Amino acid sequence: MILLIQILVLGVLAVALTQWLRHLPYPSPLVRPLLPSRQRWPELQIREWLETTRFHSGYLRFFYRDPPRVLPADDGIIAPADGLVTSYEARAGVRYIVIALSFWDMHVQRSPLDGRVTNVTPSGDAHMDGEGRDFAFLRDKYCPVQTRIALETDIGPVAIRLITSVAARRIETWVHAGEQIRRGQRVGRILLGSTVVLEVPDEYVCTCELGSHVRAGETILAAKASV
Amino acid sequence: MMDWLWHDGHLSWPLFAVLVYTSLIILGADLVWRTTSGSTRKLALWVASVWLLGVVSIYGLAVF
C-alpha cells in the first residue's frame, strides 16, 4: 500500500517534470494558468507561432476574448482600442492618436463616439499601398494593411484606422457605411494586428500621456483643447 | 546501504522525500524564475543552496 502511494506521488511528479522539460524555455501547461498573460504566452513563443501559423489553442482563446466594457460617466472621446499611446501628431487639421497593441491586449475595437459610418475603406491588402507612408505610424510597418472606418459625429469627421502588417493582414469590420453607431459599440477586430489610429479634428488633444495604457470603450482619450 | 533505497517493501522514506523535494524545488524554481525579474544566476544559487539545505536536513532527520 505504501509503495503504491509512493509510486503514485512520484508518477505525478514525473509527469509534471516531463511536461516542464518538454516545454522549456516556455511555461509548461501545468504552470501556465498560474502566470500573468505576458509570462503565460512569452513573446518569443508567439513570434514562433506567427512563423509557423500554428497557434496554441489556449492562446487563440485568450487572443479572441471580447470582454464587456463599462462606458465612462464623463462625455468625451473614448479609446477605440486597448494598447499604449505612442503618438498624437497633428497634420492638416487632423490629429492622429496612435495606439499600439501588444500580443496580450484585447483586439476588439470600439467606436469613440456616437455617429454615422460614412465609409469603410480597406487598403493595402495585396502589396505595399504607399498611401500615407510618411506617417510615423505607417513608416515602421512592413506593407501596412489597413481598414479605415470614417464616422460623421457631432464634433465633425472622425476615423478609426485598424492597421496590421502584410504578414497578418486580417482585419474584420462589423459596421457598414450608412450605419448609425453608438459610443463604445464594437466596430471590428484586428487579427494578430498591431496598431489603431484615431483621427479627430486637431482642436481635440490627447488626454493621455505618451506610453500610457488605454482601454477600448473605457478610457477617455481626447478632449477639446481649452483656449 | 539497501536500507537507504528500500525498506520494508517500499522505497525508503529519505529517498522518497529527496525525490519529491527535488521535483518540487525544480518546479517551484521555474515558477519563481518566470514571475520575478531578478538575475537568473542569483536565483540558481539560491535554489541550489535551498535544495542542498533540504537534502542535508532530510539526511539529518533520517540519521538521528
Is the pTM higher than 0.90? The answer reads no
Q: Is A183 helix (H, G, I), strand (E, B) or coil?
A: coil
Q: Mean pLDDT, to the nearest integer, of A54-75?
A: 91
Q: Which residues pair with A147 in a beta bridge?
A: A122, A162
pLDDT number for residue A130: 45
Matching residue, cell 524555455: A25
Residues 102-121 of A with CB under 8 A from B: none
A141 φ/ψ angles, rounded to the nearest 5 degrees = -105, 145
Decide if pLDDT at B1 tops 70: no
Chain B residue whose CA is closest to A40: B34
CA distance A8 to chain B (A): 11
Write the residue in A9, A13, A31 that is nearest to B31 by C-beta.
A31
Which ipTM was obtained for this model?
0.87
Decide if pLDDT at A169 tops 90: no
Question: Any chain A CB within 8 A of the CB of B20?
Answer: yes
Question: Any chain A CB within 8 A of the CB of B32?
Answer: no
What residues does each domain of chain B span? 2-63
Q: Mean pLDDT, to the nearest integer, of A9-24?
A: 95
Decide if pLDDT at B59 tops 60: yes
Decide if pLDDT at A126 tops 80: no
Q: Which residues pair with A196 in a beta bridge?
A: A99, A162
Contacts of A44 in chain B (CB under 8 A): none
Lowest mean pLDDT among A19-28, A34-43, A48-57, B19-28: A48-57
Q: Return the percentage of chain A with pLDDT > 90, whole number.
A: 62
Question: Any chain B CB within 8 A of the CB of A193?
Answer: no
Residues A18, A23: Cα–Cα separation, whole Å: 9
Q: Mean pLDDT, to the nearest integer, of A41-62?
A: 88
Write the residue in A6, A16, A39 that is nearest to B11 by C-beta.
A6
Contacts of A27 in chain B (CB under 8 A): 30, 34
Question: Any chain B CB within 8 A of the CB of A21?
Answer: no
Q: Is A112 helix (H, G, I), strand (E, B) or coil?
A: coil
Lowest mean pLDDT among A5-19, A83-97, A130-144: A130-144
CA distance A3 to chain B (A): 5
Write the residue in A3, A17, A27 that is nearest to B9 by C-beta.
A3
Tell me the pairing of strands A77-78 and B10-11.
unpaired
Q: Which residues pair with A109 in a beta bridge?
A: A188
Residues A77, A208: Cα–Cα separation, whole Å: 12
Decide if pLDDT at A190 tops 80: yes
Domains of chain A are: 2-63 (no CATH), 77-224 (2.70.70.10)
Question: Any chain A CB within 8 A of the CB of B19?
Answer: yes
Look at A6 and B23 and tell me if their CB atoms are within 8 Å: no
